Structure 1
Amino acid sequence: MEELNNLCQSEPNELLLAIDSFQKEILESFLVSTGNDYLASADKWLNAGPSNTAKFGGEPNKAIIYRDKLLDEVEKFICGDNRYDEDRKKISESADKSKQYIIGVMSTAIGSTMGVAGTFVAPVIVLLIMSIGKMAVNAWCEMRKEIKKPVEIGQQNERN
């Protein structure tokens, strides 16, 4: 889908403009503190919260697990999983091809699948898309398949 390919090849600053300004400011501070490490910044977002309250995942390593689940859902959305067919169709048929609209549709769909508000996951989705970088979507999807291959083979061996 051309819209998702264009989104993934956007400049990081353009992607940050797709979220609310208060979220953008927080992400920018996370990016500075992590040396522009998109995944570490995503973990910081998932662990952020007022002091004396439990973080989103409860424990810091839970945020990494949750981030990886979000990454899996972003992969499904971008790489063509049937679960998100209607959402991708909504993007392709819409006259609005802005990054804000596409991130909004993705965040709502993925948030709904995971049982959280789209506005909470939108900044993490932006960071995950930023981590794709200038790589073409097809190349990224193939890379994700290769990453998962040893795990899938190991799981099949455990079943046998």
Structure 2
Amino acid sequence: MGEITFREAVREDLDQIVGMLADDMLGSKRERYELPLPDCYVQAFQAIDADPNNELIVACKDSEVIGVQQITFTPHIARQGGWRATIEGVRTASSQRGKGVGYQLITWAIERAKERNCQLVQLTTDKERSEALRFYQKLGFTASHEGLKLHL
């Protein structure tokens, strides 16, 4: 297999993306991976694709999608009007875990944030993902804030 490349996702990638999101202990409880995919995934993809401040990025080896992440670019009044990049939905295909794909996804996202003149890159990880937390800390992320969510 060849080198890992990164590109914006296209509609034809969506089945593989949702499959990766569903293929772990938490995702299997949250996602509905069935073919054809439920319309909610297609609608979300279309909204992301149409928004210039959202990028759904896939990592590929040859023609196979082996990783995914979403990057959202947000302007803020705080920090003197700076932009932030938020990384979410990072997943690696189960056949590729432990092979450095996640590291390459995150370092690619950091470089993309720099290209977009962001002052800050942020992400969250579920507290049940202790390995992911250690992984992000090794990449230089710090747990500087307490995050809260309200499910609606």
- TM-score class, shorter-chain normalisation, is under 0.3
TM-score, scaled to structure 1: 0.27
More strand by percentage = 2
